[in-house]
Amino acid sequence: MIATSKPTRLDSKFLREMKAQRRSPLCFLGIFFLLCLVPLVVRGDYYLHVLIAIYYHVIYAATYRFILRTGQFHFGAHAFIGIGAYASVLLVMRLGFLFWVAMPAAGVIAAFFALLIGFPTLRLKGVYFAIITWGFGDTLRFLYIRFKEPFGGPLGIFSIPEPNPIPVPWIGSIDFSHKTHYYFLALALMVFTLYVLHRMERSRFGLIFGAIRERDQLAKAVGVNIMNYKVLAFAICSGLAAMGGSFYAHYTYYISPLDFTVLLTIYLAIYTVVGGQSRYSGAIVGTVVLMLVGEIFAGYAHYQLLLYSGFLILVLLFLPAGLVSLPAMFASRFGAFRTKKGETLEHGAA
């Protein structure tokens, strides 16, 4: 008889990961389909604008969080978002590119700059890498302000054209004359970005990135080329964020150096930490909740900053693992309550 060994815990985890990998395309398609129904319910342009802003900020925050996952404290996300915006606009307005070509090209350009910055600097960690990326972003902003040609100077670039119309058989064309069209484009770009990041995190690369974050020297000792993986993650995430910047430029029809300051990166860090840095969904939840909270508090003009700061403080005090830990906290509290109630009933019966 052939002896069969029982599956180990590692084998079970591997099988769960494989099943999750097979289900992930269907899950993302399901989410995309459900969110496609939103314009049927939400009619006002204001609400669509809020959702569109949330979607491209989710792209920024999710890519920012993935770089943090590799153990690098990134403080220059605004630099690559700005590269994507300016590159796309200049390709369309100066070189006559179609938007549908300029947007991925802007992502490639940003990824190229990430490679140039990443290879010499990703050996540094912590505050050193943060300062370098911050300096890179401010250097680019100085160039945008200093040179009116081709960057528009401190006033920025006006009258950015909308995306080129998409011909649809038997229907006509999608000409981006309504916010609904931008909504679907932002949704598609967000789902695509989240799917790419999800595949990376759930694959062998994700395990390697986690190992690098925890013990990079140990990962290096077992043969992992940590520099190549760090640069790869940095370039891919910078390129995806730049595509979000391209969308932003053609959605708002105007960009300026003030749109790409370090304050944007600080907001992304807040979204990620408040949502929960350790979980894939943390940056998504943090972005959605905090942007909605910001819109709600906008009605209290004189107290907006106070209310927003108070909300952040309460979340960080009572949910140090982020908003994504809230269901687990409720489950543990509810379980403890049921256990205590059961013990009380048993003592009463006795």
CATH of residue 106? 1.10.3470
* pLDDT-above-70 percentage for the chain: 82
Q: Residue 11: its pLDDT value, please?
A: 43
* Residue 3 CA to its chain's centroid (Å): 48
Measured CA to CA in angstroms, residue 39 lies from 43, 114, 144 at distances of 6, 36, 36
Cα angle: 296, vertex 299, 301; to 5 degrees:
125
Number of domains in the chain: 1
Give residue 24's pLDDT. 62
* DSSP per-residue string spanning 86-136: HHHHHHHHTT---HHHHHHHHHHHHHHHHHHHHHHHTT--THHHHHHHHHH
Tens digits of residue pLDDT in 78-101: 999 999 999 999 999 999 999 999
270 versus 17: the higher-pLDDT residue is: 270
What pTM was computed for the model? 0.86
Domain membership of residue 203 (yes or no) is yes
pLDDT at 126 > cutoff 90: no
Is position 346 within any domain?
A: no
Residue 249 makes CB contacts below 8 A (sequence gap 6+) with 84, 85, 86, 88, 89, 160, 255
User: Residue 174 in 3-state DSSP?
Assistant: strand
Judge whether 157 lies within some domain.
Answer: yes
Domain-located, residue 329:
no
Question: What's the confidence (pLDDT) of residue 201?
Answer: 85
The DSSP string of 134-156 is: HHHHHHHHHHHHH-HHHH-GGG-
Report yes or no: 257 and 144 within 8 Å, Cβ to Cβ.
yes
* DSSP state, residue 128: H
Show the domain range for 243. Answer: 27-303
Q: Which of 15-29, 221-235, 283-297, 303-317 has the lowest mean pLDDT?
A: 15-29
Contact 103, 243 (CB under 8 A): yes
- Is residue 240 a part of any domain in this protein? yes
Burial class, 254, CB count within 10 angstroms (exposed 0-12 / middle 13-18 / buried 19+):
middle
**315 belongs to a structural domain:** no
Rounded to 5°, angle at Cα 56 from 50 and 61? 115
DSSP code for 299: T
Residue 166, domain member (yes or no): yes
Return the top range by mean pLDDT from 122-136, 150-164, 336-350.
150-164
Inter-residue contact 76 to 133 (CB < 8 Å): yes
Instruction: Tell me which range, 34-38, 176-180, 247-251, is most confidently predicted by mean pLDDT.
Output: 247-251
In a domain? residue 51: yes
Average of per-residue pLDDT across 172-197: 91
* DSSP states of 264-298: HHHHHHHHHHHH-TTSTTHHHHHHHHHHHHHHHHT
DSSP at 323: G
Question: Cα 74 to the chain's mean position, in Å?
Answer: 13
DSSP state of 11: H
Please say whether the beta carbons of 211 and 219 come within 8 A.
yes
Q: What is the helix (H) or strand (E) element at residue 173, kind and residue range?
A: strand 172-174
Per-residue pLDDT at 286:
94
Rounded CA-CA distance 346/130 in Å is 58
Identify the weakest region by mean pLDDT among 106-115, 201-210, 220-229, 277-286.
Answer: 220-229
Split at pLDDT 50, 70, 90, the class of 210 is: low
Give the residues across from 167 on adjacent strands. Answer: 173
| pLDDT over 60 (residue 61) | yes
**Which two tokens mark 66?**
């993935």
- The whole-chain average pLDDT of the chain stands at 85
